[in-house]
């Protein structure tokens, strides 16, 4: 039974973030031939995942003490994510990667405004709430929303090919008068509309990927930000702190920030002499064939 106070969402990729610390001293102590063999094995798997139409992979060199490498995995199901996790853990490279954190979620498009419109239209049709006819009509509306090319493209878009990445989890408060879930629907919808306007004001400068994690992980949502200038992250998050949905109800977890790089640059990352680059597709293909 659908609760009229609960906003619907459309769901896309299953997402797994994994953060690791690289034991560089042990890695550097290996002989060149062994390092090359381990790198080739990892690059082969990472390249296959990044090219898979039913999956995707993002690599980022992290800044700070919370880790050195973040792997972002996209797949169509949790089962597929489990297979990817196991395949990565079987790599010889994993002997030198210490797990620091992980996060499980599903890419989500919230439908606060659409949910209210759907309910209003069903009332106007004279359908009894939660009757078989009401549920069937509502399911049709949700299917049409998911099939909308604008939504479908976002639900299964590839990981944005932008140099800088930032990931953090967040909650909506449930404390006293600041209980998001006890706030009337119309008020929540209004705040989310204003919240969305701030995000849209940064259109073209940042790509946001929102994923739902209620029931999957310790927080309620995961947020990925991608940009060509890291200063955009500071400006966007700061601007959103003044919006009511965040100022009153937002709770934020740890932030991980770094530079995305191409699979073909894995050796550069492991060598630690310079920052690995995010190459154009053609350049990456050329490096991989060498």
Catalytic positions are 168
> SS in 3 state form for the chain?
CCCCCCCEEEEEEEEEEEEEEECHHHHHHCCHHHHHHHHHHHHHHHHHHHHCCCEEEEEEEECCCCCCEEEEEEECCHHHHHHHHHHHHCCHHHHHEEEEEEEEEEEEEEEHHHHHHHHHHHHHCCCCCCCHHHHHHHHHHHHHHHHCHHHHHHHCCCCCCCCEEEEEEEEECEECCEEHHHCCHHHHHHHHHHHHHHHHCCCCCEEEEEEECCCCCCCCEEEEEEECCCHHHHHHHHHHHCCHHHHCCEEECCCEEEEEECHHHHHHHHHCCCCCCCCCHHHHHHHHHC
d(CA 256, CA 187): 32
Per DSSP bridges, beta strands 164-172 and 69-75 are unpaired
């Amino acid at each position: 039974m659908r609760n009229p106070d609960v906003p619907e969402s459309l769901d896309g990729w299953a997402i797994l973030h994994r953060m690791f610390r690289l034991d560089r001293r042990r890695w550097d102590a290996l002989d060149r031939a062994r390092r090359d063999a381990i790198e080739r094995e990892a690059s082969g798997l990472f390249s296959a995942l990044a090219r898979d139409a039913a999956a995707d992979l993002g690599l980022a060199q992290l800044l700070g003490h919370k880790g050195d490498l973040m792997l972002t995995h996209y797949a169509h199901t949790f089962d597929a994510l489990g297979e990817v996790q196991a395949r990565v853990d079987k790599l010889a490279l994993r002997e030198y990667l210490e797990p620091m954190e992980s996060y499980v979620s599903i890419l989500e498009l919230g439908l606060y405004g659409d949910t209210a419109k759907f309910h209003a239209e069903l009332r106007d049709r004279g359908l009894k709430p939660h009757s078989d006819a009401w549920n069937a009509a509502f399911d049709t509306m949700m299917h049409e929303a998911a099939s909308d090319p604008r939504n479908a493209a976002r639900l299964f878009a590839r990981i944005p090919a932008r140099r800088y990445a930032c990931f953090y989890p967040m909650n909506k408060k449930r404390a006293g008068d600041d209980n998001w879930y006890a706030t009337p629907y119309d008020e929540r919808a209004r705040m989310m509309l204003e919240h969305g306007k701030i995000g849209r004001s940064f259109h073209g400068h940042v790509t946001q990927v929102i994923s739902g994690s209620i029931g999957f992980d310790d927080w309620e949502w995961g947020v990925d930000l991608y940009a060509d200038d890291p200063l955009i992250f500071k400006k966007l998050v700061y601007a959103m702190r003044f919006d009511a949905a965040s100022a009153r109800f937002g709770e934020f977890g740890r932030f991980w920030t770094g530079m995305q790089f191409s699979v073909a640059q894995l050796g550069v990352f492991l060598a630690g002499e310079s920052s690995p680059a995010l190459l154009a597709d053609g350049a990456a293909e050329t490096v991989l064939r060498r």
